[in-house]
């Protein structure tokens, strides 16, 4: 009932999938057989005694939402949330860990170690500060004026989401992430070459696939395998995540003189 309520109030499918996973893994597995009126602050404290702050906050959000709904509906006689949890206010930007940044030379080396069909993904993630889902969600139409010096643009209109209703599918990007990003001329040329070699003429054709016959982007698992191989080829990058390329890009924005508001908008 609670998950149906979340759907009714407009929560995205990926959010619901995440909440359901947290519910099953961390909550119902521990207190699912208990009478709802027997749940108290001590139970909440035990459930939240996990190592990582991010995991704790996610569990707390699910618990609070679940029990608020239960109290609202009077489920099992519940009339109020039987515990208090403190959840930090969500940020609309990502803090950047300077220890997880790549130099331009390292970015180049990582790209050169990738399969040629997905090599451009490394540059787009770093130069345009994109998330992996946003990179894999790019289509031919998202490149604008690649042949015009100093005017090339990339639009971010959707993401390839592995938590879609029917598996992986196109969905809207995270709040504040859609928009248009300038593409430096050297990478505009690479974009032209990539389109010519690997992308059909259809405006909806995905940028990154295994072959010309594919109508969907490359699978996350396949892309991740390419990425792991690439980072192991570059000294000092064995633990470097693809998402860290985005942090590298945000840092480049800052070094280029972007305002804090502009950086937060990209973050």
Strand pairing partners for 143? 154
Q: How confident is the model at residue 262 (pLDDT cuts 50, 70, 90)?
A: very low
Question: What burial letters (b/e) apply to 133-164, b meaning 16+ CB within 10 Å?
Answer: bbbbbbbbebbeebeeeeebebebbbbbbbbe
Q: Which two tokens stand for residue 107?
A: 């970015």
Per-residue model confidence (pLDDT) at position 266 = 44
In the chain, where the domains are located: 2-77, 98-266
| pLDDT higher at 120 or 214 | 120
pLDDT exceeds cutoff 60 at 93 = no
Q: Is 129 in contact with 250 (CB distance < 8 Å)?
A: yes
pTM, full prediction: 0.64
Averaged pLDDT score across all residues of the chain: 86
Nearest to 108 by CA among 190, 50, 222, 217: 190
Taking residues 185-204, what's their average pLDDT?
95
Taking residues 74-95, what's their average pLDDT?
78
Q: How confident is the model at residue 90 (pLDDT cuts 50, 70, 90)?
A: low
Q: How confident is the model at residue 231 (pLDDT cuts 50, 70, 90)?
A: very high
CATH 1.10.443.10 correct for 98-266: yes
Judge residue 9's burial from the number of C-beta atoms within 10 Å of its C-beta, 0-12 exposed, 13-18 middle, 19 or more buried: exposed
Per-residue model confidence (pLDDT) at position 97 = 52
Q: Is 119 in contact with 112 (CB distance < 8 Å)?
A: yes
Helices 104-112 and 220-233 pack at an angle, to 10 degrees, of: 120
In this structure, the strands spanning 143-144 and 167-171 are: unpaired
């Amino acid at each position: 009932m609670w998950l149906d309520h979340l759907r009714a109030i407009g929560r995205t499918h990926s959010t619901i999938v995440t909440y359901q996973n947290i519910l099953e893994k961390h909550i119902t597995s521990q207190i699912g057989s208990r009478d709802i009126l027997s749940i108290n602050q001590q139970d909440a404290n035990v459930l939240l005694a996990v190592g990582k702050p991010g995991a704790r906050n996610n569990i707390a959000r699910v618990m609070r939402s679940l029990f608020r709904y239960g109290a609202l509906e009077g489920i099992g006689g519940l009339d109020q949330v039987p515990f208090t949890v403190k959840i930090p206010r969500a940020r609309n930007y990502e803090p950047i860990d300077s220890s997880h940044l790549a130099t331009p030379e390292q970015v180049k080396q990582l790209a050169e170690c990738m399969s040629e069909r997905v090599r451009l993904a490394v540059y787009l993630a770093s130069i345009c500060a994109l998330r992996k889902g946003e990179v894999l969600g790019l289509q031919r139409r998202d490149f604008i004026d690649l042949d015009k010096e100093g005017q090339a643009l990339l639009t971010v209109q959707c993401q390839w989401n592995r938590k879609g209703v029917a598996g992986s599918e196109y969905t809207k990007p995270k709040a504040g992430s859609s928009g248009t990003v300038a593409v430096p001329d050297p990478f505009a040329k690479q974009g032209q070459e990539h389109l010519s070699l690997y992308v059909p003429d259809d405006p909806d054709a995905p940028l990154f696939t295994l072959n010309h016959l594919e109508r969907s982007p490359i699978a996350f698992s396949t892309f991740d395998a390419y990425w792991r191989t690439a980072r192991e080829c570059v000294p000092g990058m064995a633990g470097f995540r693809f998402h860290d390329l985005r942090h590298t890009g945000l840092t480049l924005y800052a070094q280029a003189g972007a305002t804090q508001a502009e950086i937060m908008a990209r973050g």
